[in-house]
Amino acid sequence: MAMLNSLGFILGTTLMYATPLLFTSLGGVMSENSGVVNIGLEGMMTFGAFAAATVGYFSGNPWLGFLAGGLASGFLGFLHALACVTFAANQVVSGIAINFLGPGLALFLSRKFFDGATMTYNLPIEMKMPKYFNNMLPEGTFVRQVLNQDISVFMAFTLVLLIWFLLYRTKLGLRIRAVGEHPKAADTLGVNVSRIRYLCVILSGVFAGFGGASMSLAVASNFFQTLISGQGFIALAAMIFGKWKPHGAMVACLIFGCAQAMTIFIGGTGLRVPQEFLSMAPYILTLVILMGFVGRAVAPASDGIPYIKDES
């Protein structure tokens, strides 16, 4: 029974921590399938987490907060698209700038809205994302430990199916992948390359904002300076490990979420494992996966290459 409870805890915690990564990784999938590298996911996720916690606190409505997180990061996605698509800027440099801009804006606005504090006020439990199965599952059971999750968990896994269907079963998805593989050919067939890339990069910001919102409205109960500490880069690694496919990114995010869950589980067992090592474990796993798989993963052919119309 104790082993079953432990397994239930690990699986439930895996789902909880995989969800922010999954939202954000799906944002990377959308952007890079259209040919625009987005390493600014960390900054977008941070700004989304702040916006969600702030709007959720002042409105008393977690759904408004969640939506605000997506819209706020969607704005950063628009700025990234403006730089990379319209002005053909270096996409890596633009992403780095977003990674500075997102946290900087979050801290600046936090000081304005919360009396000089670098964190938002704590949300009451009823203002966090709801758990719809809370009263449907028997107390103390394995199923409850695994499935008693906030609604954003189920939204993230539903989004995997929706994006897979969009990319591989719709005309728009075919155009997105064509623009990412060979924008010149897509352009000659009448596809508006700039419009497709703008759409995908803005959506990548929205999804990263949802990832940040699920951190500040579900995993935690407020935004603070170190809430998003590398999760955006882990989501980027998950996208690469998943070979730029939504279902592949989902598997990778579950692996990273499991690493975080095991870290928490081992830390609570009383084993004499240095806390510093436990804190490093998810990031070590990221490096190991990147070293082992990044050479085998092939990005879309035009990923990272600006497209200038009428240029061969």
Is 20:214 a contact under the CB 8 Å cutoff?
yes
pLDDT number for residue 270: 63
pLDDT number for residue 312: 47
Question: In sequence order, what are the residues at sequence separation of 6 or more whose Cβ sits closer than 8 angstroms to the Cβ of residue 203?
Answer: 27, 30, 31, 74, 77
Domains of the chain: 2-293 (1.10.3470)
pLDDT number for residue 236: 94
pLDDT number for residue 173: 98
d(CA 144, CA 228): 28
pLDDT number for residue 294: 58
Q: In which residue are the tokens 């508006």 written?
A: 192
d(CA 98, CA 204): 13
d(CA 214, CA 19): 7
Q: In which residue are the tokens 């599952």 written?
A: 137
Consecutive sets of 10 residues in the chain, 312 residues long: mean pLDDT of each? Answer: 82 95 98 97 98 96 97 98 96 97 97 94 90 76 87 97 98 97 95 97 98 96 93 93 94 91 79 73 75 72 89 49
Is 129:218 a contact under the CB 8 Å cutoff?
yes
pLDDT number for residue 304: 93
d(CA 25, CA 3): 32
Helix axes 151-169, 2-33, angle to 10 degrees: 40
Is 197:35 a contact under the CB 8 Å cutoff?
yes
Distances (CA, A) of 205 to 11, 38, 260: 28, 9, 24
Q: Can you give the three-state secondary structure of 132-165, one letter per residue? A: CCCCCCCCCCHHHHHHCCCHHHHHHHHHHHHHHH
* Radius of gyration, CA atoms only, the chain: 20
Q: What values do phi and psi take at 127, rounded to 5?
A: -100, 5
d(CA 307, CA 312): 10
Q: What values do phi and psi take at 189, rounded to 5?
A: -90, 5
